Amino acid sequence: MNQPGQPLLKALRAAHVRLGLLAVIAAGLMLTVVSLLTLRTYVEQNLQLVARSIAYSAEAATVFNDPASATEIVTMIAAQEGLLSADIVRRGGATLASYAREGEAPVDATLARIGTLLFPLRATAPITHQDHEVGQVSVRGNGSVYLLYLLQVVAAVAGCMAVIGWWVSRLSRRVESEIVDPLNRLASLTRTARTERSLSLRAPPAVVREIHTLGEDFNALLAEIQSREAELVAKHDDLKTANESLSYLAFHDSLTGLPNRASFLQHASRAVAAGRGHAGKAAVLYLDSDNFKSVNDRLGHAAGDDVLIETARRIRALLRESDVVARLGGDEFAVLLAPIRGAEDATRIAGEIAAALRAPVASAKFGIIQASASIGVAVFPGHGANAQALLLAADAAMYRAKTTQPGSYCVFDAVLDDETNTHIA
């Protein structure tokens, strides 16, 4: 995996530092060279001017061969101009006057030697009288004076470089505040939106136009994603509701709201499996209306629906939360009692249900409707090893109750219900 590159702020600062240093060094070198060349020209012209001034002033002393006057003139001008030495030589080669600076400190001597390497410190000028050369002036300048001046120029250049460096630093901080910080905030916002799904976050305005445009585009993208996610959530909720509705309809009766046959068999299978593992007992009651067909024929299906709804309500009222009542279809109901202690629990509940269902049904539209139901009881594990076998055994016992005493209940008996039991096997 490739390692990430250096941070933007570090890269920009490095670029600014390199650019600033290059600009400062180039400017410093250029100013120093220009200053050196300008100073060299000035030194050369100044020494030449001093030599001519001595030649002009000492013309008479040279013509009349007056060493004292010539020495006085040379000493005065040389001392005034800070020369290291000055000589007046007559045409024949004899020295008329000379000057040499005395008492030079070691530091000045060193500076003078360095100055000699940098500047043209020697100049000559002829001494003429009536257009004839009568002598020559030779002067040697003091390099330490010009070197000190050059150092002042270099110090000024260094000051300018420091100012430029300070300005580069300010530009770097401005780059950080106007470019790097907004980009870091945008990156942090992007990371938060991705990891925490905070799609309501928005990038603030930025000073730099391109970064501001990038932030606006990012805000628009977040808004679109947020809108799409809201649509997906709404569709997911609709699908969840539809699935729950379909699931409910797949396992419940639409009229009574009770579980249907498929749901009842699932509950019964789980109860049988739990009872098998813990040696527990469960019971299935099978209920069938005794005169439901006659109610439909006399009063219509709406009256039959009232009877079914009331039957479901009465059965549910007599059961525990752990028990299950289901409508198997038509006027047939089934009840799962689990867990129970024995068959006596099942027969007690069956008797209570049979008694409750013998009471007339009071319909707001059809008045008093006489109804009852016959009940068959099958107990696990004695009457069936699985849910389907228990339901068939209870159905057989219900059939015997309906044929012998409608409105009562019977417990499955393999001998009495032999004919039906052969179908169960």
Q: What is the pLDDT of residues 167-177, one digit of tens each?
A: 767 766 766 67
Question: Architecture of 8-162 per CATH?
Answer: 2-Layer Sandwich (3.30)
What is the per-residue pLDDT across 50-90, written as a single tens digit (0 to 9) for each? Answer: 888 888 888 888 888 888 888 888 889 888 887 878 898 88
Q: What percent of the chain has pLDDT over 90?
A: 29
Phi–psi pair at 252, nearest 5 degrees: -135, 155
Identity of residue 19: L
Identity of residue 32: T
Residue 278 has pLDDT above 70, yes or no: no
Among residues 300, 308, 210, which one has the least CA distance to residue 258? Answer: 308
Among residues 333, 284, 330, 291, which one has the least CA distance to residue 311? Answer: 333
Top-confidence range, 53-57, 150-154, 168-172, 350-354: 350-354
pLDDT given at position 261: 93
Residues 6+ apart with CB under 8 A from 86: 54, 74, 77, 78, 98, 99, 137, 138, 139, 140
Measured in Å, how far apart are the chain's first and last C-alpha atoms?
Answer: 68
Identity of residue 246: L
Residue 2 has pLDDT above 50, yes or no: no
- Residue 211 — pLDDT band, cuts 50, 70, 90? confident
Among the listed ranges 114-118, 153-157, 227-231, which one has the minimum average pLDDT value?
114-118
- Residue 423 — pLDDT band, cuts 50, 70, 90? very low
Phi-psi region of 101 (alpha: psi -120 to 50; beta: other; left: phi over 0): beta
Q: How far apart are CA 290 and CA 287, in angstroms?
A: 9
- Residue 102 — pLDDT band, cuts 50, 70, 90? confident
* Active-site residue set: 331
Residue 359 has pLDDT above 90, yes or no: yes
Token output for 126: 């002829």
Residue 145 has pLDDT above 70, yes or no: no
What is the per-residue pLDDT across 373-388, written as a single tens digit (0 to 9) for each? Answer: 999 999 998 899 899 9
Q: How far apart are CA 413 and CA 382, in angstroms?
A: 10
Q: Tell me whether the CATH fold assigned to 8-162 matches the one assigned to 261-424.
A: no
* Domain regions of the chain by residue span: 8-162, 199-251, 261-424
Residues 6+ apart with CB under 8 A from 326: 253, 258, 259, 260, 261, 263, 264, 267, 333, 334, 335, 336
Partnered with residue 367 across adjacent β-strands are: 363
Residue 306 has pLDDT above 70, yes or no: yes
Nearest-10 Cα torsion for 404, 406, 315, 347: -30
Q: How far apart are CA 277 and CA 271, in angstroms?
A: 10
CATH class for the domain made up of 261-424: alpha beta
Residue 412 has pLDDT above 70, yes or no: yes
Burial code (b: 16+ CB inside 10 Å, e: under 16) for 370-394 equals: ebbbbbbbbbbbebbebbebbbbbb
What is the per-residue pLDDT across 10-33, written as a single tens digit (0 to 9) for each? Answer: 556 666 666 666 777 777 778 777
Helices (H) and strands (E) in the chain, counts: 13, 11
The SS3 assignment for 300 reads coil
Q: How far apart are CA 384 and CA 397, in angstroms?
A: 13
The answer to whether the peptide bond before residue 4 is cis (omega within 30 degrees of 0) is: no
Q: How far apart are CA 173 and CA 157, in angstroms?
A: 24
Distance of CA 415 to the CA centre of its chain: 77
Distances (CA, A) of 322 to 201, 250, 309, 338, 370: 49, 21, 21, 7, 30
Residue 1 has pLDDT above 50, yes or no: no
Token output for 104: 């030079």
What is the per-residue pLDDT across 218-238, written as a single tens digit (0 to 9) for each? Answer: 788 888 887 888 888 888 887
